[in-house]
Amino acid sequence: MSLHSVQSARPAASDTSAAVQVHNLTKTYGSGAEPVTALAGVDATFVRGTFTAVMGPSGSGKSTLLQTAAGLDRPTSGQVLVGGSELSKLSETKLTKLRRSKIGFVFQAFNLIGALTVEENILLPLRLSGVKADRAWLSEVVARVGLTERLKHRPAQLSGGQQQRVAIARALAMRPEVIFCDEPTGALDTQTAAEVLTLLRSVVDATGQTVIMVTHDPVAASYADRVVLLADGRIVRDLPQPGADKIAELLASLGRRLVAQEG
């Protein structure tokens, strides 16, 4: 599987290998004497058909990177391209349409609608977009996430792991170019988390989807092809899968370095 590290060159919309590109991405909150810089000039390319884990200490900018790359938040400056479309050039209406058609989301809070069945929750993005469901594809998705016998159930009747599978199926329903995951296993026990991560891994391997996952867990990150490590709003390491032990060692080393700097 092809792995690309951080790219320093200006991203090109014609780069068909890239699902997501960010160039010189900055995000600053507040103004006046003490603004907070969450991202400080990030450059990265996320290649189609790969699984990337984004990690870093609290306040490192990893969730901000995910939110800006997914079009959920506007950067202060810089470029974000999803499938070749530069998000800063899109109106809010067009940005919403792009998110619905090209981007899937999976969060720690499952964000399911309790009044809807599993099937209705999965179909919701299609209904909001006015797109006719591809029943063959949906059947495949539901089978892959192991929910064929649960379609008429409501979220309250499911375990946490099953609810997260519904969220993943919902994210896949539109055949998005990229799936963004923000701590998708944070609320799950170890065994259920492993099942969800195996499912995300299979989404990449079986259908060529692109997954970008923010996580604090070295074991979760070990399911990815690549680990991007942030600190102080910058990428400090970008490396092919190093394994859970090495990831934990890198995080600990970074934590010690930051503490020493603060001291």
- What per-residue confidence (pLDDT) applies to 133? 86
- What per-residue confidence (pLDDT) applies to 123? 94
- What per-residue confidence (pLDDT) applies to 15? 58
- What per-residue confidence (pLDDT) applies to 238? 93
- What per-residue confidence (pLDDT) applies to 16? 65
Structure tokens at 234: 């910058």
Q: Enumerate residue ranges in the chain where pLDDT < 70.
A: 1-16, 259, 262-263
C-alpha gyration radius of the chain: 18
Task: State how far Cα 124 lies from the chain centre.
Answer: 20
Q: Report the amino acid identity of residue 138.
A: L
- What per-residue confidence (pLDDT) applies to 263? 58
Determine contact, residues 78/25, Cβ cutoff 8 Å: yes
Sequence spans of domains, the chain = 18-262
Structure tokens at 110: 């499952």
Is the domain spanning 18-262 CATH 2.60.40.10? The answer is: no
Q: What is the pTM of this model?
A: 0.87
DSSP states along the chain: --------SPP-TT-TTEEEEEEEEEEEE--TTS-EEEEEEEEEEEETT-EEEEE-STTSSHHHHHHHHTTSS--SEEEEEETTEEGGGS-HHHHHHHHHHHEEEEESS----TTS-HHHHHHHHHHHHTPPP-HHHHHHHHHHTT-GGGTT--GGGS-HHHHHHHHHHHHHTT--SEEEEESTTTTS-HHHHHHHHHHHHHHHHHH--EEEEE-S-HHHHTTSSEEEEEETTEEEEEEE---HHHHHHHHHHHHHHHHHHH-
Helix axes 160-172, 190-207, angle to 10 degrees: 20
Tell me which residue has tokens 């102080």. Answer: 232
How far apart (Å, rounded) are the C-alpha atoms in residues 143 and 111? 21
Contacts of 140 (CB under 8 A, 6+ apart): none
Contacts of 17 (CB under 8 A, 6+ apart): 2, 4, 47, 48
